[in-house]
Structure 1
Amino acid sequence: MQKNIVITGGSSGIGEGLAKHFYNKGWQVLITGRNNSKLSKLAAELPGIYTIVYDSLKNGQESKIIDFIKDEWNGKLDVLVNNAGHVALTPLPEISRDQLEEMYQVHLIAPSLLAAGCVPFLSVTKGQIINVSSSHGIKAYAQLSAYGSAKSGLNMLTKIWALELAPLGIRVNCVAPGPTDTPVLENAGLAADIILAIQQSEAKTIPLQKRGDVEDIVANTALLIDSGSNWVTGVVLPVDGGISVS
């Protein structure tokens, strides 16, 4: 039977990797992102994939996705992946209300509202929600007050939703990637030399002595979605080369 998956932040990095994985498995895939040109480029590469311009910083954007599921997929949804997000490094004395609100909007409020809107669909298919968090939500790092606390909150939401939605047959799990080779640092507006220094420093502190690849995250996310994980819910799975326990 045809399966349907929604992936927010699906035009690059981990989201793009997940989109390609499930597209190649024959699923119907809807990806969202803020950059229409990136969405269009991926749509040209993967004919038949669905795209929606979606900005999680704007209120009410989740209705675009909910309406699409109703109108295009007749309300059938098997998996929602809350993947959209971005990082900002800011020392505590320089942090602002705007930055805090932005991080909590993207990583907590928007995923919550989208998940809430998808519950009626997922309860029919006995589907699941996958949240993409970060090792920064497990292990403390300097200058990540907003991002780290937001990701930590997403980890807790995963557990709360798992308890709340289990009676409906909906599973909720979370993948917490460690430092991974994606455009996230470039998207944060950091200079190339700073990005290189961060990457080299991270590689040295990871017990397995290497940064992750998108494929590492995709494989473990797919493992949670696979039917072999039907008795798994409420899990926050670190995929981080051991950094969260170092």
Structure 2
Amino acid sequence: MKNIGVILAGGSGTRFGSEKPKQFLRVAGRKILEHTLDTFQNSHIIDEIAIVTHKGHVDEVKESITVNSFNKVKKILLGGSTRNESSLAAINAYWSNEDADKINLIFHDAVRPFVSNKILKDIKSNLEKYNAIDVAIASTDTIIEVEDDKIVNIPDRSNLMNGQTPQAFKLKTIKEAYDIGLQDPNFKATDDCGVIKKYLPKEPIFVVQGDPTNIKITHELDLFISDKIFQIRHKQYFNQPSLEEIKGKVLVVFGGNDGIGGAAADLAEKIGAHVFRFSRSLTGTDITYPEKVKQALEHAYNECGRIDYVVNSAAILNKQPLDLMDYETINESLNVNIKGAIIVAKESYPYLSKSHGQLINYTSSSYTRGRAFYSVYSSTKTAIVNLTQALAEEWELNKVRVNCINPERTKTPMRTKNFGMEEEDTLLKAEKVAEVTLKTLLSKSSGQLIYVKKI
């Protein structure tokens, strides 16, 4: 059987309240549609992909396919005004295939970017026994039936589940159900399993266990939740590369004398990368001066003929109440932590665009919530996250990736200077952050905020 992933991307986004349909909004550095397609593209379960979209968004879909090299996408189909019309577009497109009796259609919402390969594997294995598959999770909330704003029934929750997608069918089965349904003058369906249930009532629909994180991005709040899910699930993206792949690569590290930058440089050198370290104390390289950064990058490029990666770990932390900080200290923090990061990014871009390389920045757990005595530092680390996400989008077409590492409290000279001696078993080791840094460099992701935790 040939498994066709049908990505339903025809939604208008009216409930979301955005001018642009939500499948084309960005989260974690990519369009939501691109995250969804990436899972189907990289799954060995899926043989081919078809995208059903609105006629006004075909060019944007084509751009995503081209930029991401989604070579499994074989069809871009025009959907209708309803969900079932979009499904029918795919059904009819593949029914004309001479091998229609050997095709499975796996329908999935474009705005469910967290579908797992495990779900796809479970769908495939059960399609060997059943003609129709749904995906669902147990309901955690009490469901009430309401009429005229009054409860008329409270069903037993133990028998209730929340439906998700994908929904999968043997093509001939879903085609038969729709053929019957279209003869019904009152035909209406919110999903494809509903069509099977109503018009082929004797056809069993097997339920595959879904995943609580396989959320559908419907409302604005879902966008914020999805960003956090990407952060929690970052390990599946970054644990795959072998660190040996960095051997022979050219890596420039600003802030490479000690701390996290020094540890990343040490680890890369040990594996066999060509590493160039720059810092104020080591080479007199002050990243607040464009000429200094330019000279450093030119030196590395002239030595090796290319630059694959740039890591900027240079930062200043002055733990002090704002009203007690003098303007010289404030300006130094702003200049190094944000202006310096901008300068490093701007000067690195010409080299990274040639190599299709990557820039790594670092933020802090304090970026999510300002804390007393961290006002300036926290502000700059919030700016770093926004800078990373903006540049990932700006530089996408030239295949330059930009990611941001967010480590928990880490034992570094900068931390010791501000906090004194602390119990080491409560702190991350810089070497662990260095390892995640190199794995991120070797990944294909961009715009990601990667958390590094002690446990």
**Cα offset, 1:2, TM superposition:** 3.0
Equivalence for 2:251:
5
Q: Given the alignment, which residue of 171, 181, 186 partners 2:401?
A: 171
Alignment pair present for 1:88 and 2:318: yes
Determine whether 1:224 maps to 2:440: yes
Q: Of 295, 302, 307, which aligns to 1:71?
A: 302
**Deviation string for 1:2-53 (max 9, x for gaps)?**
31000111111111110111111211100012223xxxxxxxxxxxxxxx33
From 27, 31, 46, the counterpart of 2:277: 31
> Closer, same or farther in 2 for the Cα pair 1:240/1:139, shift >3 Å?
farther
Aligned equivalent of 2:390: 160
How many aligned positions are there?
A: 209
- Residue aligning to 2:339: 109
- On the 8 A contact 1:136/1:178 being kept in 2, the answer is no
TM-score for the superposition, normalised by structure 2: 0.43
Give 1:59 shift. Answer: 5.6
Match of 1:195 in 2: 420
Please name the residue that 2:428 is paired with: 212
Structure 1 240/142 Cα, relative in aligned 2: closer, same or farther at 3 Å? farther
Query: Which structure carries more strand by proportion?
Result: 2
Q: Which amino acid aligns with 1:237?
A: I
Partner residue, 1:18: 264
Q: Alpha-carbon deviation of 1:106? A: 0.6
State the identity %. Answer: 25
- Stretch deviating more after TM superposition (131-140 or 111-120): 131-140
Q: Secondary structure of the residue that 2:412 maps to in structure 1?
A: coil
Please say if residues 428 and 454 of structure 2, whose CA atoms lie closer than 8 Å, have aligned partners that are also in contact.
Answer: yes
> Any conservation in 2 of the 1:135–1:240 contact (CA below 8 Å)?
no
Deviation at 1:172, TM superposition (A): 0.4
Give unpaired runs (5+ residues) of structure 2.
1-246
- Residue 410 of structure 2 corresponds to 180
Indicate the larger mover: 131-140 or 25-34: 131-140
What are structure 1's unaligned runs of at least 5 residues? 37-51, 204-208
Q: CA deviation at 1:241?
A: 4.2
> Larger Rg: 1 or 2?
2
Q: What are the Cα deviations for residues 161-218 of structure 1, in whole angstroms up to 9, with x where unaligned?
A: 00000110001000011211111134x4x5xxx523xx36xx8xxxxx8211112211
Distance 1:132 1:57 in 2: 17
* Secondary structure of the corresponding residue to residue 60 of structure 1: helix
Give the partner amino acid of 2:452: V
| Whole-angstrom distance in 2 between the partners of 1:3 and 1:171 | 16
For 1:100-139, list aligned pairs within 5 A.
100-139=330-369
Native 8 Å contact 2:301 2:307 kept in 1 = no
Name the TM-score, length of structure 1 as normaliser: 0.78
Amino acid aligned to 2:284: V
Q: AA paired with 2:293?
A: E
CA distance in 2, matches of 1:32, 1:71: 15
Higher relative contact order, chain-length normalized (CA < 8 Å, sep 6+):
1
Select between 18-27 and 1-10 the one with higher mean Cα deviation. 1-10
The answer to whether the 8 Å contact 1:62/1:110 transfers is no
Structure 2 match to 1:62: 293
Which residue of structure 1 lines up, in the alignment, with residue 51 of structure 2? none
How many Å separate the matches in 1 of 2:263 and 2:300? 22
C-alpha separation in 1, matches of 2:415 and 2:390: 30
Give how far 1:113 is off.
1.3
Please tell me whether the aligned partners of residues 322 and 376 of structure 2 are also in contact (alpha carbons under 8 angstroms).
no
> Hey, what's the Cα distance between the residues in 2 that align with 1:99 and 1:59?
20
